């Protein structure tokens, strides 16, 4: 079984025809994971997992299909660590809503993918369980924070993975690994069971090789949930309905800030090719401006870190997770467990967020960031009055080298400049492969839509996928 | 030197909902530790709060009953602090946009009416409970975690402990009559924190505030404030400075003791709760809730006195609890004479409850039965003496008074054709009493009534017997 050439529909047909069994599919995934051990894409793999009994291949396309789960989504009975020492022994007692829905669709859930600790990072170098390597070049990072999910897809461990995206954590690794990744609208997918990082920004999404596969999975996990007050009551359309639609007349905005010199020339060139293809197919290309782009990184890091500083307070060594030894009193338990349990980047953001929320600084930092956030939203609303999608590069560079940026947090944070806005504004956004850089590393093409308009995002991504057929390429690093 | 006191109160009410504010766990009192909890209460990774809308409804009732302005949009905020009984390490409360602002209650102290302002009221979740074992371990019970609270913050409008006491009494009564809370200090469904500062008369600037938390009774509130007034005066008179601090009241010594000094305000790093969208409160919903708001104790008192002719003291006794006031209203509705109903409730019923240490809800007496009994007394079917027997039976066993009276043949004898000859015979048989009567000894008639009662085994209508005896004696 070569997952690099399969997709959910093809697997479903084979399962239905009986030419392959769900057990064999699961075994194929376990074998692939074993073969790609050097990537370190997985934190926990349950070798004793079994596909559902009584699989109904007609009722569900996901029936018997192994799906990878990012390790910040809680799975009942299956260890969930958020790649942190502080949760390295944590076995959840309940399933996230998305997991419940995947179970209902009879998908096979058997393992948890590596990530940056608590989803904080853009390189997957911040994991307690070690860094993840990029299948296209093992010396390069896979991106983050959903680096494990992206590497697992790119290397053919599975055809679909769940990720989460707070500032680009699905799209940036998707871009770095030459795969598709979509962060739906904030409020489209329930966050119940997603270990919180930045609650007003976090969104669960899907990483796949093929656009259609992501639409199939999103169809299953999206929709209202009485466990999450921030999920929209809107009915969920069939996302596959948008695929294959003609892009003639599609109004495509290209922000000039996204195609500036700050973006590598080869990245820009690869992206421009996709824009040209859209234009050639009859799409209307409009150059627009997003003047607040220069403020999005500080705005984002203030809001996300502030929320994180509060969300991560519950990890105190008292009720679950890691507790430090040799403690003298309550304060000692708190201090030692948290000092030893959290990694450097997590501590940095807790400190940053605590500072931004503290009395005397709240107005200058958190409040000011909230105001800028409102202005950024307004920017996007204006563009979407006359446009269906906004496109550009997903990242300013292709995957950088392991160790290259980890010592310079600000440089690392600036990686997210093109992806963060969609989180601040709650927009659906995806990354679809655009081609390869001069160094043979994948380049991502980002597509953003108006809130709850995933349909146009899928339509555009599907067009790009069909036009450049990047999915036919195999990651170079795998041939070693 | 004269001093002026400035007192403000923060009162927490547990709102009476079936389930907790953000989780489906039941609200219980006295259940085994941690049995009324779920993953939300434990603050497990990945959990999210879902607001129990009933909390808004009950909060709005209290806001309406205290004339507060309900904000058109309210939202929750996080108050961050570490403590074992606070599993998320933040409390979800309302800091920036509370449920309501600018209310008031009216009190009467030392014969003077005064309006005490309510600064704001907000909804929040309760924390769990820490207990410290003798074995060196501490224990956390999260049953209370997430129980909905309404915190009512007064303006610093009270200038002496008696006003604080009166405010608490009034506020408790108002909240109790909305039905939004059980308001039981002993069970923690009503909790009081006080703030007091003093300043020399004539000085504008307020003095330094001292806070006292978790006072057990209104009386302790009064005592602790009175003690603090004196203590702070002595501090100032001896040239000292009052420390901004939290103090604890010891009910055994009647004194307050320093618990911790506050150096500036604590930094709780408040920020808007991102997991709960802002909630719009429509005026139409408020109007609907207003329609369901039970009549306030003030309105009831007026009705009892003006319409029913009750004595103010009787009205006040009835209004001590919502239960007794409701029982009274139902009795009147069932046809019971209001004055008699009030008398029976305030004397016989209360006496019975006190003797047996019971609550009104614990006994089988219904307003319908009490009304039926009052009717039997009023129409002369039974005497008040008989009524006491009937009452004893009804309150103990829930027996229908009318059926009981009929079954036991307790109906009063009011037939003149039967009583007439008996009266004649008794007067004939007791010439000495006739003599005494003629000599102006009123007691004589009592003896004769007693004879008739004896012969009828208490069933004779005493009024009628009296009347017939007088007529008969005057004939002689």
Identify the bridge partners of residue B114 per DSSP, sorted by sequence position. B107
Asked if A306 lies within 8 A of B271 by C-beta distance, the reply is yes
Q: How far apart are CA A465 and CA A251, in angstroms?
A: 18
Reduce the DSSP state of residue B166 to 3 states and report it: helix
Is the backbone of residue B348 left (phi > 0), alpha (psi -120 to 50) or beta? alpha
Q: What is the pLDDT of residue B473?
A: 84
Take residue B86 and report the two structure tokens written for it: 């606070």
Residue B183: CB partners within 8 Å, gap ≥ 6?
Answer: B13, B172, B175, B176, B189, B190
Q: How many residues does chain A have?
A: 480
Asked if B90 lies within 8 A of A199 by C-beta distance, the reply is no
Confidence of residue A1 (pLDDT cuts 50, 70, 90): confident
Asked if A357 lies within 8 A of B90 by C-beta distance, the reply is no
Residue B383: CB partners within 8 Å, gap ≥ 6?
Answer: B377, B412, B458, B461, B462
Q: Identify which of B39, B49, B265 has the shortest CB distance to residue A93.
A: B39
B-chain residues near A82 (CB < 8 A): 45
Residue A166, CA distances (Å) to A196, A305, A462, B206 in order: 10, 11, 24, 48
Asked if A319 reaches chain B (Cβ–Cβ under 8 Å), the answer is yes
Asked if B46 lies within 8 A of A196 by C-beta distance, the reply is yes
Is the backbone of residue A376 left (phi > 0), alpha (psi -120 to 50) or beta? alpha
Task: Find the catalytic residue in A70, A112, A183, A209.
Answer: A70
Candidates B38, B46, B75: best to mutate against A (most CBs of A within 10 A) is: B46
Q: How far apart are CA A215 and CA A465, in angstroms?
A: 14
Q: What is the pLDDT of residue B263?
A: 65
Q: How far apart are CA B424 and CA A394, in angstroms?
A: 117
Asked if A192 reaches chain B (Cβ–Cβ under 8 Å), the answer is yes
Burial class (CB in 10 A: 0-12, 13-18, 19+), B22: buried
* pLDDT tens profile B22-55: 999 999 988 999 999 999 999 999 999 999 999 9
Asked if B80 reaches chain A (Cβ–Cβ under 8 Å), the answer is yes
Judge: domain A8-253+383-479, CATH 3.90.1300.10.
yes
Whole-number percent of chain B with pLDDT over 70: 99
Residue B337 has pLDDT above 70, yes or no: yes
Confidence of residue A348 (pLDDT cuts 50, 70, 90): very high
Beta strands in B142-278 (DSSP E): 148-154, 190-200, 210-215, 245-250, 255-261, 271-272
Sheet architecture: strand order including B90-93: B90-93, B77-80, B271-272
Q: How far apart are CA A478 and CA A152, in angstroms?
A: 12
Q: Identify which of B89, B269, B274 has the shortest CB distance to residue A358.
A: B269
Asked if B46 lies within 8 A of A96 by C-beta distance, the reply is yes
Q: How many CB pairs under 8 A join A and B?
A: 99
Q: What is the pLDDT of residue B423?
A: 86
Q: Judged by CB atoms within 8 Å, which residues 121-180 of B form the interface with A?
A: 138, 140
Q: Among A101-115, A451-465, B373-387, name the one with the lowest average pLDDT.
A: B373-387
Say if CB A343 and CB A123 are below 8 A apart.
no
Asked if B269 lies within 8 A of A196 by C-beta distance, the reply is no
Structure-model confidence comparison of residues A462 and B386, the more confident one: A462
* Residue position matching structure tokens 């995933």: A454
Provide the 8-state DSSP code for B52. -
Relative orientation angle of helices B53-65 and B161-178, to the nearest 10 degrees: 130
Say if CB B341 and CB B348 are below 8 A apart.
no
**Nearest chain B CA: its distance from A193 CA (Å):** 4
Q: What is the 3-state secondary structure (H, E, C) of chain A?
A: CCCCCCCHHHHHHHHHHCCCCHHHHHHHHHHHHHHCHHHCCEEEECCCCCCCCCCCCCCCCCCCCEEEEECCECECCECCCCCCHHHCCCCCCCCCHHHHHHHHCCCEEEEEECCCHHHCCCCCCCCCCCCCCECCECCECCCCCCHHHHHHHHCCCCCEEEEEECCCCCHHHHHHHCCEEEECCCCCECCCCECCCCCCCCEEEEEECCHHHHHHHHHHHECCCCCCCCCCCCCCCCHHHHCCCCCCCCEEEEEHHHHCCCCCHHHHHHHHHHHHHHHHCCCEEEEECCHHHHHHHHHHHHHHHHHHHHHHHHCCCCCCCCCCCCCCCHHHHHHHHHHHHCCHHHHHHHHHHHHHHCCCCCHHHHHHHHHHHHHHHHHHHHHHHHCCEEEEECCCCCCCECCCCCCCHHHHHHHHHHCHHHHHHCCCEEEEEEEECCCCCEEEEEEEECCCCHHHHHHHHHHHHHHHCHHHCCCHHHHC
Asked if A229 reaches chain B (Cβ–Cβ under 8 Å), the answer is yes
B-chain residues near A84 (CB < 8 A): none
Closest CA to A92 of A76, A111, A70, A72: A76
Residue A121 has pLDDT above 90, yes or no: yes
Asked if A410 reaches chain B (Cβ–Cβ under 8 Å), the answer is no
Structure-model confidence comparison of residues A306 and B448, the more confident one: A306
Q: What is the pLDDT of residue A328?
A: 92
Q: What is the pLDDT of residue B39?
A: 97
**Nearest chain A CA: its distance from B78 CA (Å):** 8
Residue B454 has pLDDT above 80, yes or no: yes
Q: How far apart are CA B370 and CA B335, in angstroms?
A: 10
B-chain residues near A94 (CB < 8 A): 39, 44
Q: Among A164-168, A368-372, B192-196, B351-355, name the one with the lowest average pLDDT.
A: B351-355
Asked if B48 lies within 8 A of A316 by C-beta distance, the reply is no
Reduce the DSSP state of residue B246 to 3 states and report it: strand
Asked if A199 reaches chain B (Cβ–Cβ under 8 Å), the answer is yes
Q: How far apart are CA A374 and CA A368, in angstroms?
A: 10
Q: What is the pLDDT of residue B381?
A: 80
What are the phi and psi torsion angles at A320 (to 5°)? -160, 170
Structure-model confidence comparison of residues A458 and B261, the more confident one: A458
Residue A167, CA distances (Å) to A342, B102, B354 in order: 20, 42, 66
**Nearest chain A CA: its distance from B51 CA (Å):** 8
**Nearest chain B CA: its distance from A353 CA (Å):** 10
Q: How far apart are CA B317 and CA B327, in angstroms?
A: 13
Take residue B461 and report the two structure tokens written for it: 């209508």
Confidence of residue B468 (pLDDT cuts 50, 70, 90): confident
Residue A280: CB partners within 8 Å, gap ≥ 6?
Answer: none
Q: What is the pLDDT of residue B265?
A: 64
Q: What is the pLDDT of residue B72?
A: 96
Q: Which residue of A has its CA nearest to B81?
A: A313
Residue B106 has pLDDT above 90, yes or no: yes
Say if CB B36 and CB B25 are below 8 A apart.
yes
Q: What is the pLDDT of residue B264?
A: 63
- The answer to whether A169 is a known catalytic residue is yes
Asked if B440 reaches chain A (Cβ–Cβ under 8 Å), the answer is no
Provide the 8-state DSSP code for B348. I
- The answer to whether A339 is a known catalytic residue is no
Is the backbone of residue A243 left (phi > 0), alpha (psi -120 to 50) or beta? beta
Q: What is the 3-state secondary structure (H, E, C) of A297-323?
A: HHHHHHHHHHHHHHHHHHCCCCCCCCC
Q: How far apart are CA B328 and CA B345, in angstroms?
A: 7
Q: How far apart are CA B64 and CA B337, in angstroms?
A: 32
Asked if A90 reaches chain B (Cβ–Cβ under 8 Å), the answer is yes
Measured in whole angstroms, the distance separating CA A386 from the mean position of its chain's CA atoms is: 28
Take residue A427 and report the two structure tokens written for it: 């927009």
What kind of fold does domain B416-475 have according to CATH? Answer: Arc Repressor Mutant, subunit A (1.10.10)
Asked if A314 lies within 8 A of B48 by C-beta distance, the reply is no
Q: How far apart are CA B333 and CA A455, in angstroms?
A: 64
A-chain residues near B49 (CB < 8 A): 229
Say if CB A128 and CB A79 are below 8 A apart.
no
Asked if B49 reaches chain A (Cβ–Cβ under 8 Å), the answer is yes
Q: Mean pLDDT across chain B, nearest whole number? A: 92
Residue B266 has pLDDT above 80, yes or no: no
- The answer to whether A190 is a known catalytic residue is no
Q: Which residue of B has its CA nearest to A358?
A: B269
Task: Find the catalytic residue in A60, A127, A169, A232.
Answer: A169
Confidence of residue B212 (pLDDT cuts 50, 70, 90): very high
**Nearest chain A CA: its distance from B150 CA (Å):** 21
Asked if B50 reaches chain A (Cβ–Cβ under 8 Å), the answer is yes
* pLDDT tens profile B296-328: 999 999 999 999 999 999 999 999 989 999 999
A-chain residues near B39 (CB < 8 A): 93-94
* pLDDT tens profile A257-270: 999 999 999 999 99
Residue B408 has pLDDT above 80, yes or no: no
Q: Identify which of B50, B89, B138 has the shortest CB distance to residue A314.
A: B89
Closest CA to B110 of B162, B169, B156, B161: B162
Q: What is the pLDDT of residue A479?
A: 64
Candidates A82, A112, A356, A357: best to mutate against B (most CBs of B within 10 A) is: A357
Residue B380 has pLDDT above 80, yes or no: no
Take residue B246 and report the two structure tokens written for it: 């939290």
In angstroms, the first-to-last Cα distance of chain A is: 20
Q: Which residue of A has its CA nearest to B45?
A: A195
Provide the 8-state DSSP code for B111. T
* pLDDT tens profile B111-157: 999 999 999 999 999 999 999 988 888 899 999 999 999 999 999 99
Structure-model confidence comparison of residues B427 and A30, the more confident one: A30
Closest CA to B176 of B13, B386, B313: B13
Angle (nearest 5°) at CA A183 between A178 and A186? 170
Say if CB B8 and CB B158 are below 8 A apart.
yes
Residue A89 has pLDDT above 80, yes or no: yes
Asked if B80 lies within 8 A of A82 by C-beta distance, the reply is no
Q: Identify which of B44, B47, B271 has the shortest CB distance to residue A357.
A: B271
Task: Give the ipTM of the model, two decimals please.
Answer: 0.96
Task: Find the catalytic residue in A145, A155, A190, A337.
Answer: A145
Domain extent listing, chain A: 8-253+383-479
What are the phi and psi torsion angles at A235 (to 5°)? -65, 150
Domain extent listing, chain B: 3-280, 295-407, 416-475
Asked if B89 lies within 8 A of A330 by C-beta distance, the reply is no
A-chain residues near B269 (CB < 8 A): 309-310, 354, 357-359, 362
Q: Identify which of A96, A193, A314 has the shortest CB distance to residue B43.
A: A314
Q: What is the mean pLDDT of residues B358-369?
A: 90
Whole-number percent of chain B with pLDDT over 90: 69
Q: Identify which of A198, A307, A314 has the shortest CB distance to residue B88.
A: A314
Say if CB B137 and CB A330 are below 8 A apart.
no
Q: Identify which of A230, A320, A358 has the shortest CB distance to residue B277.
A: A230
Closest CA to B4 of B120, B163, B166: B163
Q: What is the pLDDT of residue A437?
A: 97
Residue B407 has pLDDT above 70, yes or no: yes
Q: What is the pLDDT of residue B441?
A: 78
Residue B452 has pLDDT above 90, yes or no: no
Residue B410 has pLDDT above 80, yes or no: no
Say if CB B174 and CB B104 are below 8 A apart.
no
């Amino acid at each position: 079984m070569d997952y690099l050439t399969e997709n959910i529909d093809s697997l479903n047909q084979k399962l239905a025809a009986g030419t392959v069994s769900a057990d064999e599919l699961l075994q194929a995934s376990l074998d692939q994971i074993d073969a790609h051990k050097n990537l370190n894409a997985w934190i926990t793999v349950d070798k004793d997992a079994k596909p559902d009994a009584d699989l109904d291949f007609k009722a569900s396309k996901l029936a018997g299909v192994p799906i990878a789960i990012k390790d910040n989504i809680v799975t009942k009975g299956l260890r969930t660590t958020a790649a942190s020492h502080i949760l390295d022994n944590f076995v959840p007692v309940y399933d996230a809503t998305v997991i419940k829905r995947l179970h209902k669709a009879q998908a096979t859930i058997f393992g948890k993918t590596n990530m940056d600790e608590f989803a904080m990072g853009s390189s997957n170098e911040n994991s307690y369980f070690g860094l993840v390597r990029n299948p296209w070049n093992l010396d390069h990072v896979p991106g983050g924070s959903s680096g494990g999910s992206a590497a697992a897809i790119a290397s053919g461990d599975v055809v679909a993975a769940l990720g989460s995206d707070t500032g680009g954590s699905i799209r940036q690794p998707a871009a770095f690994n030459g795969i598709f990744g979509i962060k739906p609208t904030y409020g489209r997918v329930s966050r119940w069971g997603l270990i919180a990082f930045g609650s007003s920004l976090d969104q669960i999404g899907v990483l796949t090789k093929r656009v259609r596969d992501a639409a199939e999975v999103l169809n299953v996990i999206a929709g209202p949930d009485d466990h999450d007050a921030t999920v929209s009551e809107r009915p969920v359309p069939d996302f596959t309905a948008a695929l294959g639609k003609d892009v003639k007349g599609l109004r495509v905005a290209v922000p000039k800030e996204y195609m500036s010199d700050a973006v590598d020339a080869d990245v820009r060139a690869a992206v421009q090719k996709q824009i040209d293809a859209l234009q050639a197919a009859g799409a209307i290309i409009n150059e627009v401006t997003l003047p607040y782009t220069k403020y999005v990184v500080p705005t984002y890091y203030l809001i996300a870190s502030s929320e994180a500083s509060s969300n991560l307070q519950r990890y105190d060594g008292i009720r679950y997770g890691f507790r430090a030894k040799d403690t003298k009193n309550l304060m000692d338990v708190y201090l030692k467990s948290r000092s030893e349990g959290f990694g450097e980047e997590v501590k940095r953001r807790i400190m940053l967020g605590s500072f931004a929320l503290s009395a005397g600084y709240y107005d200058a930092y958190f409040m000011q960031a909230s105001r800028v956030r409102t202005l950024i939203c307004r920017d996007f609303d204006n563009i979407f009055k006359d446009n269906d999608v906004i496109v550009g590069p997903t990242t300013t560079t292709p995957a950088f080298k392991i160790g290259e940026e980890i010592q310079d947090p600000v440089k690392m944070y600036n990686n997210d400049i093109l992806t963060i806005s969609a989180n601040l504004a709650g927009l659906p956004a995806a990354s679809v492969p655009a081609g390869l850089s001069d160094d043979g590393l994948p380049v991502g093409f980002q597509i953003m839509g108006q809130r709850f308009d995933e349909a146009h995002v899928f339509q555009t991504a599907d067009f790009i996928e069909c036009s450049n057929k990047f999915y036919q390429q195999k990651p170079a690093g795998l041939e070693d | 030197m004269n001093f002026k006191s400035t007192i403000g109160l923060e009162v927490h009410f547990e709102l009476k909902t079936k389930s907790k504010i953000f989780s489906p766990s039941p609200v219980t009192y006295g259940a085994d530790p941690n049995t009324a909890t779920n993953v939300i209460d434990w603050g497990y990774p990945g959990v999210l709060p879902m607001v129990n809308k009933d909390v808004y409804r009950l909060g709005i009732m209290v806001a309406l009953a205290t004339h507060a302005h309900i904000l058109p949009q309210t939202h929750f905020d996080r108050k961050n602090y570490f403590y074992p009984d606070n599993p998320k390490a933040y409390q979800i409360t309302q800091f920036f946009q509370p449920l309501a602002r600018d209310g008031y209650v009216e009190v009467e102290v030392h014969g003077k009416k005064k309006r005490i302002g309510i600064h704001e009221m907000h909804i929040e979740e309760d924390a769990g409970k820490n207990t410290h074992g003798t074995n060196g371990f501490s224990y956390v019970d999260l049953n209370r975690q997430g129980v909905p609270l309404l915190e009512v913050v007064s303006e610093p409008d009270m200038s002496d402990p008696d006003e604080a006491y009166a405010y608490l009494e009034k506020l408790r009564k108002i909240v109790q009559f909305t039905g939004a809370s059980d308001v039981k200090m002993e069970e923690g469904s009503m909790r009081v924190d006080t703030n007091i500062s003093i300043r020399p008369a004539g000085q504008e600037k307020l003095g330094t505030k001292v806070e006292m938390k978790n006072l057990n009774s209104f009386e302790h509130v009064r005592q602790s404030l009175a003690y603090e007034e004196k203590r702070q005066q002595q501090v100032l008179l001896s040239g000292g400075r009052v420390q901004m601090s939290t103090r604890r009241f010891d009910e055994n010594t009647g004194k307050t003791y320093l618990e911790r000094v506050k150096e500036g305000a604590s930094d709780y790093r408040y920020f808007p709760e991102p997991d709960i969208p802002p909630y719009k409160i429509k005026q139409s919903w408020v109007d609907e809730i207003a329609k369901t708001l039970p009549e306030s104790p003030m309105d009831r008192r007026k009705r009892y006195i003006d319409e029913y002719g009750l004595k103010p003291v009787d009205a006040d006794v009835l209004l001590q609890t919502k239960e007794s006031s409701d029982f009274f209203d139902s009795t009147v509705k069932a046809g019971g004479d209001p004055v008699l109903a009030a008398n029976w409730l305030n004397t016989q019923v209360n006496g019975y409850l006190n003797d047996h240490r019971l609550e009104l809800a614990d006994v089988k007496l219904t307003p319908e039965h009490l009304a039926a009994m009052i009717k039997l007394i009023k129409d002369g079917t039974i005497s008040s003496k008989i009524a006491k027997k009937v009452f004893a039976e009804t309150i103990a066993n829930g027996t229908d008074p009318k059926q009981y009276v009929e079954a036991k043949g307790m109906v009063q004898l009011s037939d003149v054709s039967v009583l007439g000859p008996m009266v004649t015979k008794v007067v004939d048989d007791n010439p000495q009493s006739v003599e005494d009567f003629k000599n102006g000894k009123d007691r004589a008639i009592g003896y004769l009534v007693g004879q008739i009662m004896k012969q009828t085994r208490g069933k004779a209508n005493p009024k009628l017997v009296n009347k017939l005896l007088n007529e008969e004696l005057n004939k002689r």
